[in-house]
Structure formats: structure tokens, C-alpha cells
Amino acid sequence: MTMKIKTKASPAGRAAAVALSILFAALPLFPAVGCDLNDPDRDVKRLFPESTGYKTIYVSIERRGGRELLRRIEERLGDVFKGLYETIDVPYTMYHVLKDGRVIGYIHGVNQKGRYGGIQVFLALDTRGNIRGFYFQKLTSRHGALLRDAAFGKQFEGLNLNDFYGYDIQTGTAAAGSRAAAIKNPAPEAEDDFRAALRAVKKNLILVDEFLLGNIYPPPAPRG
């Protein structure tokens, strides 16, 4: 004989269960993680002393092109998007830097997984996508002081996406003779974070080209 036991929740218990189900339904399982300037007024002026204002826009791969756009970005990057920082619905915060109402540059930052946690890499760019400033807004590393040193950031100045197409994320190497290959790691013991920074820069430049510049830096044609 099989015995079935029925239980009946109290009114208070049922109400609590309903409230919890509504709460969990409202929470995303994996919330998209964006990357904003900590203090836009201060940071924009520091990166562009000549600026008189800025405008902020918010974009995402999901809204701009969906899976097809994601596939194209991954091809240009040479790696797949993965993890909490690279979901298709990540909101990218992009700053148009203004001088007397005219756009004179852009600022954009991305999240990237480092050895000891997330890092945030910001680029200040001119209107052609050339880097005029690089810095870590967030970096957890035993060798963070060396990576944050201004001398390291200066190595990126003047470079653009064309210089990073030759950087292979899978191997961590750049095409011989390229300007990306000339970037030196100031902390060999922090190779993981160095490579994460270069991946973040390449990803950042690709997103700026897609969302702001109208794809003025198409990827090089495959060698036949």
C-alpha cells in the first residue's frame, strides 16, 4: 500500500512563497555589467583639458545587431565573448567629448577578467579612433603599481585598431614589426594581467569602431 501525505501551507506561508517567487523572477540570473567613469565631470576634464562638456550614450550589441553583430565582433577580436563581462546585453557607456558643442573625441571603458578579478581599461580617443590616453580605472594585481605607471600607458598613445589587428589574443603575440609588438610588459610576473589589458584595448577599439566610427577600420583581408 502506498501512502500519500498531503501538506497544506498556512496563509502566511503561502504569502511568503508568492512574495519570494516575485522577487526572484524580477532579478536577472546574470546581470549585465557595464563600465562607467567613476566621476565623469572630473575624468573627462582630466583626459581632455580643452573640453567644455560631454554627452553620454548607451549602446549594446543586443540592440544594435544581435547575434550577427556579436559574431562579427568576435571575428575581429579573434576570440569569443564569455563570462559576466561579455554578455550580449552588456550596456556600453560611451562619452562624446565636446568643445563648444563640437565633438573632439571619445572616452570608452570595458571590463575584462584579470588574474585576480575584474579590471577596467579606459581609452581616450580622437575622432579618428587614435588613442590619446590609456588608464586602468580598476586593477587588482600584485604588480598594479607598475601597470598603472604612466610610462606603461604612454606606449598606447597614437595607436589605433589597425595596430591591434595583428595582436593574437590566443597566443598573446603581435605581428613582428607592428606597433603593438613594441608594447613592453613592465611586470613580467603579471603576464596574465598584461595580456588581459591588451585584449581589453583591442576589444575597446573594435566596439568604438562599430558603435561610433562607422567601421572605418575594416579587418585586413585573409591572406590567400
Residues 6+ apart with CB under 8 A from 221: none
SS3 letters for the chain? CCCCCCCCCCHHHHHHHHHHHHHHHHCCCCCCCCCCCCCHHHHHHHHCCCCCEEEEEEECHHHHCHHHHHHHHHHHHCCCCCCHHHCCCCCEEEEEEEECCEEEEEEEEEEEECCCCEEEEEEEECCCCCEEEEEEEECCCCCHHHHHCHHHHHCCCCCCHHHHCCEECCCCEECCCCCHHHCCCCCHHHHHHHHHHHHHHHHHHHHHHHHHHCCCCCCCCCCC
User: pTM of this prediction?
Assistant: 0.85
In a domain, residue 158? The reply is: yes
In a domain, residue 7? The reply is: no
What pLDDT shows up at residue 222?
75
What pLDDT shows up at residue 116?
87
Q: Tell me the Cα Rg of the chain.
A: 22
In a domain, residue 27? The reply is: no
What pLDDT shows up at residue 19?
47
List own/partner pairs for 174-181 with CB under 8 A and 24 or more apart: none
Cell of 70: 556579436
In a domain, residue 132? The reply is: yes
What pLDDT shows up at residue 26?
42
In a domain, residue 208? The reply is: yes
Contact present, 160 and 180 (Cβ < 8 Å): no
In a domain, residue 15? The reply is: no
Domain that holds residue 174: 32-213
Contact present, 106 and 212 (Cβ < 8 Å): yes
In a domain, residue 162? The reply is: yes
Pairing mode, if any, of strands 131-138 and 118-125? antiparallel
What pLDDT shows up at residue 20?
43
In a domain, residue 92? The reply is: yes
What pLDDT shows up at residue 164?
97
How many domains does the chain fold into? 1
Per-residue pLDDT tens, the chain, 224 aa: give them: 433 334 444 555 555 444 444 443 443 444 677 899 999 999 999 999 999 999 999 999 999 999 999 999 999 999 999 999 999 999 999 999 999 999 999 999 999 999 888 999 999 999 999 999 999 999 999 899 999 999 999 999 999 999 999 999 999 999 999 999 999 999 999 999 999 999 999 999 999 999 999 999 999 987 65
- Give the sign of the dihedral formed by CA 159, CA 165, CA 169, CA 173: negative
What pLDDT shows up at residue 221?
83
